[in-house]
Structure 1
Amino acid sequence: MKTKKIVITGGPGTGKSSIIRMLEAQGHECLHEISRQVTLEAQKQGIDQLFLDKPLLFSEKLLEGRIVQHKEADMLPATTVFIDRGIPDVLAYMEYFKTSYPSDFIEACKNHLYDKIFILPPWPEIYVSDNERYESFNESRRISSYLVETYKNYGYTPIEVPKIPVRERSEFILKTIDE
């Protein structure tokens, strides 16, 4: 049986990680966002902000990691795996920052498909900035529109998750998976 791959995406500070942690606490298989790992790895190598210093290299590392996650999802014993951001997120960010990318990025989107995409809309009441999140709320809003457009360009119909408490957002996602 094929594993369902469910992406939870949205601009920075929209609650993705909180929902992933909630789903995980409820016993669901989840794969976490990898951009912070990529950033921390680069910092260990003396590059303070890889995304700002070498955006294409950062995006290549994200793409590699998200392809690995896509394959990893198929190896897990669960029938459904929730993933914090998908491969098209890489392209959406590159489009947002007007960074060109090679065709293998496009091929990765076409060759590694997901079953459902849930997008968390920008929500000023929960947005928080931190050491790894340097985007403002307005930038988060613009990034969100790029995410929606990119997923649509690859044939997905992103489902907007309502602005309700984390538990209810998780329940909404669980109820909507098979619709």
Structure 2
Amino acid sequence: MQHKIVITGGPGTGKSTVIDELSNRNFLCMPEISRQITLNAREKGIEQLFLTKPLLFSELLLEGRVNQYIEAEKKNTDLVFFDRGIPDVHAYMNYISIDYPKTYVNKSNLYRYDSIFLMPPWEEIYISDNERYENFEQALAIHNHLKRTYKKLKYPIIEVPTGTVQERTDFILAFIKQ
């Protein structure tokens, strides 16, 4: 049986770096897709799709994450890691206080993961860039919304301690092997 593992957290917490390390160690990893959606919108002349049309952005993201989940199930592997999960979509909608359809939560309950690893806010490594517009205080608020959303969906959350990329990756892998 395939074990589906989400690595989540606010922006700039090192999620993608750990996903890259897991990929380098030959684990199947499903990448974060929000940057690609943002870049696709930019090519169509929409500078910040999440800020200008948050429901459209979230619909595209939800569809993309569900597709990733379905795609992962087709792979012949025991472990698959996701850079963010389906519940992240409505956690972000809660963060910006925008109503969304019940299908968001329904899909989060339909497509369940086995483990949720939450990367805590870490100011020393936080960097803003062209796709990451949040400041550190906003990253903290997003972290809290993510934690609340996964708890509401009855997921046990494993918080990943700060440390080197190798230490954080080793922590996740050791926890899974228990």
TM-score (norm. length: structure 2)? 0.98
Residue 106 of structure 2 is matched in structure 1 by 107
Length, aligned pairs only: 178
Gaps of 5+ in 2: none
Residue 138 of structure 2 is matched in structure 1 by 139
Further displaced range: 70-79 or 81-90: 70-79
| Residue pairs, 1:73-112, within 5 angstroms | 73-112=72-111
Residue 176 of structure 1 is matched in structure 2 by 175
In 2, distance between residues paired with 1:176 and 1:144? 21
Residue 160 of structure 2 is matched in structure 1 by 161
1:12, distance to aligned residue in structure 2 (A): 0.2
Residue 59 of structure 2 is matched in structure 1 by 60
In 1, distance between residues paired with 2:39 and 2:101? 25
Residue 46 of structure 2 is matched in structure 1 by 47
In 2, distance between residues paired with 1:58 and 1:177? 32
In 2, distance between residues paired with 1:70 and 1:178? 22
In 2, distance between residues paired with 1:106 and 1:123? 28
Identity of aligned residues (%): 53
Residue 121 of structure 1 is matched in structure 2 by 120
Gaps of 5+ in 1: none
Moved over 4 A (4+): none
Further displaced range: 42-51 or 57-66: 42-51
1:94-121 Cα shifts (integer Å, max 9, x gaps)? 0010010011111101100000000000
Aligned alpha-carbon RMSD (Å): 0.7
In 1, distance between residues paired with 2:135 and 2:24? 29
TM-score (norm. length: structure 1)? 0.98
| Residue pairs, 1:8-19, within 5 angstroms | 8-19=7-18
Residue 25 of structure 2 is matched in structure 1 by 26
1:148-169 Cα shifts (integer Å, max 9, x gaps)? 0100000101100001111010
1:89, distance to aligned residue in structure 2 (A): 0.3
Instruction: Report the 3-state secondary structure (helix = DSSP H, G, I; strand = E; otherwise coil) of the residue aligned with 1:125.
Output: helix
1:178, distance to aligned residue in structure 2 (A): 3.9
Instruction: Report the 3-state secondary structure (helix = DSSP H, G, I; strand = E; otherwise coil) of the residue aligned with 2:12.
Output: coil
In 2, distance between residues paired with 1:62 and 1:39? 10
In 1, distance between residues paired with 2:167 and 2:62? 31
